[in-house]
Amino acid sequence: MKPARIIANLVGLMLFFQVILGGSAVFGYINVQYHLEWGVVTFGVLIIATVYAAMELGSKSTLFRTGIAAIADYVVQIILGFIALGTNSGVVIVVHLANAFVLGVLVTYLITFADSAEKASTSLHPQPPTGSPGTMRALSRGK
């Protein structure tokens, strides 16, 4: 698997844990600090996934553009999170949660585009079978 595909899938898993940590913090099961720290790490990995998308497929690719959209939404999510933390407003917390689902959809698209880009690349550039020269000669004689 290519790095962009691996990292895009990792972002999806990390975002899933981020939502669990956020819900756990809202209900008082954990300190909100864990949600904040994991969010910083997740944001960093999202940026890395977007950079890899640009390196592998270019800045005009759907994968890269989806990554940029996810980064922009993540910035909005960070702002909403700090407003929710500062005001402790139930309405802002619900908007923060709803935006987390939007971010989840964007990251799902990111994973889908990374998977389909790798599959398209594989079909355009199939890898020859690997093996020693002796094995290849024996296989070609068997025809």
Within the chain, residue ranges assigned H as helices are 3-26, 32-57, 62-87, 90-124, 133-141
Torsion sign over Cα 24, 97, 103, 78? negative
Residue 138 lies in a domain: no
Residue 133 lies in a domain: no
Tokens of 16: 């899933």
pLDDT digits (tens, 9 = 90+) for 11-54: 889 989 999 999 899 888 999 999 999 999 999 999 999 998 88
Nearby residues of 103 by Cβ (< 8 Å), 6 or more positions away: 15, 70, 73, 74, 77
Residue 136 lies in a domain: no
Residue 112 lies in a domain: yes
Q: How many domains does the chain have?
A: 1
Residue 7 lies in a domain: yes
Q: For residues 45 and 42, what is the distance between their CA atoms, to the nearest angstrom?
A: 5
pLDDT of residue 81: 92
Q: For residues 75 and 129, what is the distance between their CA atoms, to the nearest angstrom?
A: 45
Residue 143 lies in a domain: no
Residue 103 lies in a domain: yes
pLDDT of residue 63: 81
Residue 132 lies in a domain: no
pLDDT of residue 75: 95
pLDDT digits (tens, 9 = 90+) for 84-136: 999 988 899 999 999 998 988 888 887 887 777 666 655 555 555 555 555 55
Give the residue among 104, 92, 90, 76 at the shortest CA–CA distance from 17. Answer: 104
Range of the domain at 12: 3-126
| Cβ atoms of 92 and 83 closer than 8 Å | yes
Tokens of 80: 């909403």
